[in-house]
Amino acid sequence: MDFFCEAKKLRLPLTVDDIPVPQKTVPKMASFAMSAKKSHEVKRFSQFVCDDVLKQCEHVQQVVDVGSGKGYLSEYLARCSGVTVVGLDSQPMNTRGALNRKQKVSKRWKKKAKAGVLKRSLADLSRKDISLTEDSLSISDLFNELSSTLSAPEDSSDSCLKVNTSNDVPDSSVSARLKPVAVKTDVLQAVAVDDSNHYIETDSLTEPLMNSASSFVPITIEINPSDYNRLLTEAEQLSDGRFISQEPFCIIGLHACGDLTSTALRMFSSLPTAAAVCVVGCCYHHITEEGGTTGFPLCNYLRSIDAHLGRNTRMLACQTLARFTETTSVEAILKIHWRAMLQVVLSRHFSELFNAVERLKTDLVVGRMKKPVKTFQEYCAIALQRLKLDVNRINPSHLTSIELEYLSRITKLQQFIRVRAVLAACIESVIILDRLLFLQEQHDIATAGLVQLFDPVTSPRCYAIVALSSHAC
Digit-coded pLDDT (tens) for 222-272:
888 888 999 999 999 999 899 999 999 999 999 999 999 999 999 999 999
Mean pLDDT over residues 297-313, rounded?
93
State pTM to two decimals.
0.72
Residues 6+ apart with CB under 8 A from 240: none
Q: In the 8-state DSSP scheme, what is residue 50?
A: I
More confidently predicted of 223 and 167:
223
Q: How far is CA 429 from CA 24, 281, 420, in A?
A: 31, 12, 14
Residue 458 has pLDDT above 50, yes or no: yes
What value does the CA radius of gyration of the chain take, rounded to a whole number of Å? 27
Residue 183 has pLDDT above 90, yes or no: no
In this predicted model, what pLDDT tens digit does every residue of 60-93 receive, in sequence order? 999 999 999 999 999 999 988 889 999 999 999 9
Looking at residue 302, what is its pLDDT?
A: 94
Helices 92-127 and 72-81 meet at what angle, rounded to 10?
Answer: 40
Cα separation, 449 vs 78, in Å, equals 25
Looking at residue 323, what is its pLDDT?
A: 65
Looking at residue 325, what is its pLDDT?
A: 60
